[in-house]
Every structure is written in structure tokens, then in C-alpha cells.
Amino acid sequence: MKNLRNIGHRLGASGTKLENTVEGLLQSIEKVSNRKFKYWEFDIRESLDGEIYVFHDDEINTSEGLIDTDKLTYSEIKEIGKKTGVNIPKFTKVVSILESRDEQVMVEVKNLKSDDARRTLISTISGKPNWKLMATPDRFSNSFPANSREYWKKYCEELEVELVRVGRHKLNLFNASNSWLIWKLARFKWFFGM
């Protein structure tokens, strides 16, 4: 395993075959007392058929080569994962394990395409005071397009869900995107050590 500043990264199994998996999470739960544990972090995406699942990469390795995950249904993604020995979980499965725990949780938004997925994600996080959503500015812009961003900002505010910048957890991306200067600064990778 890589020497990370947070052993909860990718559900505690970063750099291994079990990253972002339930198996990796269950093996890592015993390590939360370690001083390098800051919060659980995992990545979510929406499949072609609208399922929210936990996976880091934009592409998945198949016998035919790399395929964009956003062009596959969840059952196809899960099947490809099984062939490589990785069980790719649905978002709801990871939530069911972590929601009874006291540690902080950061859910990194990689790719959302539909309003149903956005609504499901935000409403699932609602009521969990130790949970936040996060994204890079580019992933935020793609997952929360400008033409509907104000609606999703209000929806998050109503449900008391915060969506912050990766690497800068106090910077609310909805608020930052409303200010030309703050948005410009938020996008600089060097500015936040990314």
C-alpha cells in the first residue's frame, strides 16, 4: 500500500486491487485508530443505465483493452470487474456500511449525468453531518452543468449537503462557481497543492 497522508483513501485500500471496494473497506475498518486516518474517501460514478457505483478510473480494463466506464451499464461494469478479480460495488452498499460509523466521509464525484443520480446522491448524503461531497472543478462542472447548477445549489442547501473542492475542503464549489475570481482561483491546480 502507498504511504498516504490518509489511510482511509479509496476506502482504505488505495494502491491495491481492493481500492474502492467493500472488501477493502472491511479490511481497513480496524485501522481507523491509526493516526494517519482522517476520513473515509471513495469515488462515485454513474453508469450508462443510471446506477451510482464506486470506482475511481474513467476507463476499465477489458480483454479488448480500455473502455470508457460511462459507455457501460452497471451490470457490464460489475462483470468486467469480476473477470479481473474486483467486486465493483454500488454506492448504496458502501453507504450501508459507513452510515452507522462516526468517522468523516468524503464522497468524490467523478461523473454524474442524470438528474435522478444527482438527486439520489444528494438525498442519500443528507442527514449525515460527517459526510461531504467533493469534486475537482472540472468534474463539478461536468456533473453539475451551468444550466441547472443554481437548482442543485439550492437543493444542496435545503438538504444541508456541502459539495467542496478536492484538496480544499472548505471551498464550496457552488459558491465558488458564482464568482469569476474565486472560480478562477479554484481551478488553479498549483493554488491548492494539487
Copy the grid coordinates of residue 149: 447548477
Picking from 57, 113, 111, 107, the residue whose alpha carbon sits closest to that of residue 86 is 57
Please give the biggest Cα pair distance in the chain: 47
Which 8-state DSSP code applies to residue 50?
S
CB 44 within 8 A of CB 105: no
Which 8-state DSSP code applies to residue 144?
S
Distance CA 115, CA 123 (A): 12
Residue by residue, pLDDT tens for the chain (194 residues) are 445 578 889 998 888 889 999 999 999 998 777 778 889 999 999 999 999 999 999 999 888 899 999 999 999 999 999 998 899 999 999 999 999 999 999 999 999 999 999 999 999 999 999 999 999 999 999 999 999 999 999 999 999 999 999 988 889 999 999 988 888 888 876 544 44
Q: Is the pTM of this model over 0.95?
A: no
CB 78 within 8 A of CB 89: no
CB 136 within 8 A of CB 163: no
Q: What DSSP string describes 65-91?
A: EEEEGGGS-HHHHHHHHHHTT----BH
Query: What stretch of H or E contains 110?
Result: strand 105-111
